[in-house]
Chains A and B, each alone.
Chain A
Amino acid sequence: MSNWKIFSKGLLDENPIFILALSLCPALAVTTTVINGVTMGLTVMFVITSNNVVVSIVRHWVNPKVRVPVYITSIATIVTVAQLVLQAYFPVLYKALGIYLALVVVFAIILARAEVFASKNGVIPSFFDGFGMGFGFLVAMLSISVIRELIGAGTLCGYPVFGDSYNPMLMMVLPPGAFMLIGYMVAGVKTWNDKREEKRLKEGEA
């Protein structure tokens, strides 16, 4: 498998949020504004990529029996680094993300990539795998937060878009709106993937 393939599968075929439905807690909680959503996406991308690299470097020395605690400690260390950096340079964002930043530690997707991919592959493919999965996560976070902020507050990155006459639909920035939006987005991505699959099958027959 080429590095491009490894990278791009995280975007659609195995998108962590829309297809695998993993690591949803933060995806719903912090996507009330675009800036929060993107910060969270970038943090996760950083953590998942660095953790994949670390796990793939140490994969020959870690006894399989203790691999999960080793992975968790590695993830927790990287998350703490990200936390301290955000706290020092972007204190406002750090406050807005709250405990969800610390909860990146227990993201199923990060542990899953370490277990499924990085523990069996070399450093470079593992890097691209983490980068692709993180990028897929970032894109999902971006799309969810753009829709929620636009409809729920009528702004984009804090700037008003629709003018004064727009009456924001508050439900979209409240929890129920997040659940329903994800429900419809999952359905949309599923329909699109099914169509592509059908097309691929037809081309195979012809």
Chain B
Amino acid sequence: MGEYFTLFIGAVLINNFVLTKFLGLCIFFGISKNLNASIGMGMAVTSVMTMSSMLAWLVYHFVLEPFHLTFLSTIVFVVLVASFVQLLELIIKKQAPALYNMWGIYLLLIATNCIVLAVPLLNVENNYSFLLSIVFAIGSGLGFALAIILMASLREKLAYADVPKPLQGTGIAFILAGMLSLAFLGFSGML
């Protein structure tokens, strides 16, 4: 049990995907202008990441390894994740239109994104078991959600600040992310 807990806390706080591993920055900076959208995106990323990493684990261990095709893992994972997200989008659109109207557009955005692809790759690299890889995916997703929600709240405050002209927009967002990342570095001695 301890192993799972350590991995989970590590993925949420210490090795936060956005702030210490720089994954998913495109959506992190793109979406975090709006708090509600950020919450939706955080949830969408967490659920897609968990499901796609489960799928990728099964494919890697039951298809790629027995046939000695592990060198193809990059291609297989990309196609797998992208097609899974498309399928999920179709199902949600048909079965739960209300949910689709709320979160549908985020699904399209994360179809080919580094943060979703990174989890299967890291699972393989660290040789996680099936359960560990699920815990890792959920932790990483929640870490992303935490970072983007914090960032969105900060940026909403920033709207009232007097920012120097060259720094407006992307520039100040990066510096803000740097401060957040500095704060998250404080967690590094925790475990």
Contacts and interface: CB of A to CB of B under 8 A. Distances in A.
Interface stretch (B18-26, B39-47, B59-67, B138-146): B18-26
B175 A184 contact: yes
B185 A83 contact: no
B112 A111 contact: yes
A76 interface: yes
A180 B175 contact: yes
A132 to B, nearest CB: 21
B71 A84 contact: yes
Contacts of B178: 175-180, 183
Contact of A21 (B22, B79, B117, B170): B170
Interface string B45-85: 00000000000000000000000000110110011001100
B3 interface: no
Interface stretch (A24-32, A38-46, A50-58, A157-165): A24-32
Contact of A106 (B71, B78, B175): B78
A23 B22 CA distance: 10
B72 A29 contact: no
Contacts, number: 115
A185 B185 CA distance: 23
Interface stretch (B5-13, B118-126, B129-137): B118-126
Contacts of B174: 179-180, 182-183, 186
B78 A76 contact: yes
A96 interface: no
A76 B181 contact: no
- How extensive is the interface on chain A, given as a class? 35 or more
B110 to A, nearest CB: 10
B170 A105 contact: no
Nearest to A76: B75
A46 B178 CA distance: 30
B166 A187 contact: yes
Interface in B161-191: 164, 166-167, 170-175, 177-179, 181-182, 185
A25 B79 contact: no
Nearest to B115: A25
Contact of A190 (B121, B166, B175, B182): B166
A98 B118 CA distance: 11
Contact of B79 (A26, A69, A84, A107): A69
A72 B22 contact: no
A99 B29 CA distance: 22
A93 interface: no
A175 B19 contact: yes
Given A77-B75, A183-B171, A183-B178, A99 B112 contact: no
Contacts of B82: 69, 72
A176 B185 contact: yes
A73 interface: yes
A99 B166 contact: no
Contacts of A99: 118, 121-122, 125
A29 B72 CA distance: 24
A72 B29 CA distance: 23
A72 B111 CA distance: 11
B175 A179 contact: yes
B153 interface: no
A178 B185 CA distance: 13
B114 interface: yes
Interface of A: 21-26, 28-29, 69, 72-73, 76-77, 79-80, 83-84, 98-99, 102-103, 105-108, 111, 171, 174-180, 182-184, 186-188, 190-191, 194
21 contacts: A21-B26, A24-B26, A29-B21, A72-B79, A77-B75, A79-B74, A98-B125, A99-B121, A103-B23, A103-B117, A105-B78, A106-B117, A175-B20, A175-B185, A176-B178, A178-B22, A179-B181, A180-B174, A183-B170, A183-B171, A187-B166
